[in-house]
Structure 1
């Protein structure tokens, strides 16, 4: 279990989707973002954006100087309801979640899931 800030190498990371990856047998969810669902997409637009978010996370985690800071700074929680470790992820000191939000691939986590599909 990741209990303190940890530096990673790209070779040790397997990206699952736009906000989740595995490292050293542990599943980590980026605490401060909400990414579109890849496996349970509700519409084509969500599925396309989910693919883009996953690819971008793979790119961002492919470099050196990846830091995992465990815990959700907003709530103090260490795990999500699915047992994944919550963490803020940084590369070269920059918050990866904030970068992905700025790029429009994910949105800030607001404590609950919202639809990524247009509501008529």
Structure 2
């Protein structure tokens, strides 16, 4: 009888022992690394994007969720100025090139927002609203700032840059 009892627990031990070892490594990382390093090494650093909507280009007086231009949106009835970058003007461009690039930046932001879930984060500079009453927020997906993507594609410049570089 005793031999059968040990055989019955053998399959459970094959699962339980490796699981216990993995749990020990996962929940008790080595003390010579920071928590951020341990998390990155394990590969569990994930950003959960919770916002999602369809963004048309804004038109007409009723604006709930839409893209105004390359750095301004309406989302759920709130007008939001995306921070950290500037895009060419579309409503009052200084030249034909600015108008063209402004339209491209607007369409690209629309595409980025409509690709899937995203996050809206507080302005790292602390201000909640600009002088026009727009909420100042950062928009990102998977931890990547969408404004940085526009800058990288030549459709925007970092905030505080050289000014209107499009004309």
Q: Which bracket does the TM-score occupy, shorter chain normalised?
A: 0.7 to 0.9
Q: Which residue of 2 aligns with 1:40?
A: 92
Conserved 8 A contact 2:88-2:166 = no
Q: Which has the larger radius of gyration?
A: 2
Pairwise CA RMSD = 1.8
Q: Deviations over 1:12-58 (max 9, x none)?
A: 63101000000111001111111111001010010000000000000
For the pair 1:56 / 2:99, whether they are aligned, the reply is no
Pick the structure with more helix per residue. 2
What are structure 1's unaligned runs of at least 5 residues? 1-5
The structure, 1 or 2, with the larger RCO (C-alpha pairs under 8 Å, 6+ apart) is 1
CA distance in 1, matches of 2:142, 2:121: 13
Q: Which residue of 1 aligns with 2:151?
A: 101
Q: Which residue of 1 aligns with 2:118?
A: 66
Conserved 8 A contact 1:8-1:66 = yes
